[in-house]
Amino acid sequence: MAITEQRHSTAVLVIGTGGAGLRASIELAEAGIDVLAVGKRPKEDTHTSLAAGGINAALATMDPEDSWQQHAADTLKESYLLADPRTAQIVTQGAALGIDDLERYGMAFAREEDGRISQRFFGAHKFRRTAFVGDYTGLEIQRTLIRRANQLGIPLLDSLYITRLLVHDGAVFGAYGFDPASGRRHLIHADAVILAAGGHTRIWRRTSSRRDENTGDSFRLAVEAGARLRDPELVQFHPSGIIEPENAAGTLVSEAARGEGGILRNAIGERFMNRYDPVRMELSTRDRVALASYTEIKEGRGTPKGGVWLDVSHLPRQTIMNRLPRVYQTLLELQMLDITREPIEIAPTAHYSMGGVWVRPEDHSTDVRGLYAIGEASSGLHGANRLGGNSLIELLVFGRITGQAAAAYSQGLTAQVRSASATALAREEVDALLKADGPENVRALQRAIRNTMTEHAGVVRNEAGLRAGLEELELIEKRMEEVGVHPDIAGFQDLAHAFDLKSAALAARATLEAALERRETRGCHNRSDYPSMDPALQVNLVWSPTAGITHESIPPIPPEISSLMEEVTTEGKLVE
């Protein structure tokens, strides 16, 4: 049977239709550059749309003394000194323009009575610099960017699964993929490619990502093209993911539940945070609360289902309905649970990839000529702990900058050299999986990876566990050689899951190996066998399957920023 293959040609291909991918696409289209944006899930339902709290910029609308330098200082301090100071400076300096762009596209931020954009406190920020729209800021950003992309006539193919980047002689020349509904193949020729396909948090059993997103696609596509990963072991675990139902395990209970006065208790009814942070209690940092809950569960004081209780039922019903409407609705829909009367069973959940593809700070270019990575796919801004509200502004700042860089790269090419053998390899990879008829089930192997990562590379790690995790992963990788892939009347989803599995395995290996190498406790990375920070490990760990792990030094922090890096008061604030 002849393969039906649709061919496309564009100046810049953007992979991922979340906030980062859309912002880059808009920048290109506004500059008159030919762009095609593709994604594997509906553009209205990308991961960006789940971001609730807000977006950071030192606009100084509420606190006139705020500045980009202070925003950078807070970001670098909270990163446990692993963030790249140049990246932090670019994002914080460019943040106000990012907000201006959203306003220009018609986004309606919450405002004060005199018309100023409202800004609220997020934890570990010295000043109020988080702009917002209710508790659905990310969703409103996504809608705004989709509206602008439609106005510009940007082609958005949001049911196209990219299987491989096409590379010749160290330069990208396009990508290969298929439609998971019809199985139709797509060959895309492009001068430059911007990778904006998210992180790798789906490789844990409980995650705030949905079922088939953040499976490490960006990591695999970049690495197979010749790029490297930076700090894949640095993953933020959110303290409050629900446990049931299984298909929604890890869905977040907003941090606002603790901010409004929610209390954490273990299975024997103890309010346990006084053991871990007696001053801030439930208003402690994400990493501290996640570690506290994890410890209670591990030491046998958790619920029979492996969680702890978050209770808001003592709050006035009106407070819950007005301040926590999404939490109330979510629990009612998923568990038929009335949070005004009963506590919520929660456990730590994998939430955000702070590491990612290695990129240069100035334009987010990678080791592969013409290939860029942005958003959660990339690395450099967050270090070992992400400042709440920084992820959304990062999308806008680097979406704009990288769009400009990819445009300049495309326009500077005198010719685009393609490779028939690289294209043939991409075709053969899909053919081989479609012919795979082994006994191993793709979904079962995905679950095995999630179990391994949860057991051995979760909130707390140690040498023995990480080595056991690598041994288990090796067995899973062997079993992957015997998978069966079976497209059916519903489409080619099984083929998509098989590629998700390949991505998950690569992301898991990078994470385990880097976590083994980082023999210290720093931020989100807790090593029970190395409980202190090691000054010698104030470096980025850069991973590739061929070279293993190298230590990369971090540039010095400019004095105008380092002089502002003081302890930020947390009184009355929820620390994100």
Largest CA distance in the chain: 70
308-327 as b/e: b if 16+ CB within 10 A: bbbbbeebeeeebeebbeeb
The DSSP line for 322-369 is HH-HHHHHHHHHHH---TTTS-EEEEEEEEEE--EE---TTT-B-SSB
Tokens 């057991």 correspond to: 455
Between CA 542 and CA 230 the distance in angstroms is 4
Cα four-point dihedral sign 316, 320, 322, 328: negative
Between CA 43 and CA 19 the distance in angstroms is 9
For the beta carbon of residue 93, count every other beta carbon within 10 angstroms.
Answer: 16
Between CA 512 and CA 506 the distance in angstroms is 10
Contact 237, 293 (CB under 8 A): no
Contact 204, 453 (CB under 8 A): yes
Contact 436, 498 (CB under 8 A): yes
Tell me the catalytic residues: 238, 258
Cα four-point dihedral sign 282, 285, 290, 292: negative
Burial of 42 (0-12, 13-18, 19+ CB in 10 A): exposed
Contacts of 289-294 with CB under 8 Å at 24 or more apart are 289/239, 289/258, 289/264, 290/237, 290/238, 290/239, 290/348, 290/459, 291/459, 291/460, 291/526, 292/239, 292/264, 293/239, 293/264, 293/346, 293/347, 293/348, 294/237, 294/348, 294/458, 294/459, 294/460
Tokens at 310, concatenated: 């978050």
Between CA 20 and CA 194 the distance in angstroms is 10
* Helices and strands (DSSP H and E) totals, the chain: 15, 21
Between CA 428 and CA 6 the distance in angstroms is 16
Tokens at 324, concatenated: 């926590």
For the beta carbon of residue 300, count every other beta carbon within 10 angstroms.
Answer: 9
Which run of H or E residues covers position 97?
Answer: helix 85-104
Q: What is the chain's length?
A: 576
Contact 445, 439 (CB under 8 A): no
**What is the phi-psi region of residue 59: left when phi exceeds 0, alpha when psi lies from -120 to 50, beta otherwise?**
alpha
Which run of H or E residues covers position 24?
Answer: helix 19-30
